[in-house]
Structure 1
Amino acid sequence: MRILVCLIGLILTLTACGKQDQSYIPSVAVNYQAPLTDPRLSRLNAIGGSVTVPGGVSGIIIYRASASSYVAFDRCSSYQPERRCAVTIDDTGLTATDPCSGSKFLLSDGSPVKAPATRSLRTYSVSVNNVSIFVYN
């Protein structure tokens, strides 16, 4: 009887671990670099400016938060990321919207401001020198 109980417990443990949580944005290597003079980055010349660039899971958004700081986020929505819906920058330049779910995210920190999303966008590190901008993880 003791062996039967142990065997059933082992089977339940092994089968319970079979399903993985799909609710996180996948981690991929990011190493984007561009000269600050690149015309595609011209919107970053002003505070509150943002651009989309290739990389990450669904692309990257770079946002100029202040005169000396930039933030970068993966465009992959944090709501049902397995769908890989790329958020788009809104006309206001303050938020980005997931076209699949209607979720909205602040560009200043990536946090959700409209349901159904409850998690922030994946962030990447940003550094800038006098010549180039670097986005990496």
Structure 2
Amino acid sequence: MAASLAKASTTISKLLCLLALLLLTSCGSDNPGPGIPNVPVSEQINVNSQLYTRLRQDGGYVYLNSGYKGIIVIRQHANLYLAFERACPYDPTATAPCGQVEADQSNLFIVDTCCGSQFNFQGGVNAGPAVYGLRQYRTVLNGSLLSIFN
């Protein structure tokens, strides 16, 4: 009887540890990065406009004066556009131009030139010190009208 009680106790302990591990790992994945204020974003742009000619080719990007420190919109292909907050998740409160990302001159990655953090065009971290990816906004393309919002 004591052996079966000890075995049940061990099983319950393992289940509790597994549950705790799941809870801890699930919390980190939704974290957009420390210190970036959550500001309302609701923008619409016409991707065929003369103002956004760079968005006519894959890998093209434009900057918008919206969000916390601006938004970078990147064309993945004709039907997919991504939009990211320009605040660097490493130190988003740094005084401009620090703490603000921009496309590198090579157009191969996005960088905060002050801290050296680099991000790919899907918002993921290529090089630190940043450990969080760029905050992504939602995008919906309806014809040539791109809506960007959170």
TM-score, L = length of structure 2? 0.71
What are structure 1's unaligned runs of at least 5 residues? 1-21
Question: C-alpha offsets along residues 62-115 of structure 1, whole Å, 9 cap, x if unaligned?
Answer: 0111231111000000101222621111122231110220111111x2111111
Q: For the Cα contact (< 8 Å) 1:61–1:72, is it kept in 2?
A: yes
* Alignment match of 1:27 (pick from 38, 43, 47): 38
Q: Which runs of 4+ in 1 moved over 6 A?
A: none
2:27 alignment partner in structure 1: none
Alignment of 1:77-92 (within 5 A): 77-83=88-94, 85-92=99-106
2:125 alignment partner in structure 1: 112
Measure, in 2, the Cα distance between the counterparts of 1:93 and 1:30. Answer: 25
Matched, 1:38 2:49: yes
Give the aligned length.
115
- One-letter identity of the residue aligned with 1:134: S
SS of residue matched to 2:77: coil
- Structure (1 or 2) with the larger CA radius of gyration: 2
CA RMSD of aligned residues (A): 1.6
Identical aligned pairs, as a percentage?
33
In proportion to residue count, which structure has more helix?
2
What are structure 2's unaligned runs of at least 5 residues? 1-32
Measure, in 1, the Cα distance between the counterparts of 2:127 and 2:63. Answer: 21
Q: For the Cα contact (< 8 Å) 1:50–1:93, is it kept in 2?
A: no
TM-score, L = length of structure 1? 0.77
Matched, 1:61 2:78: no
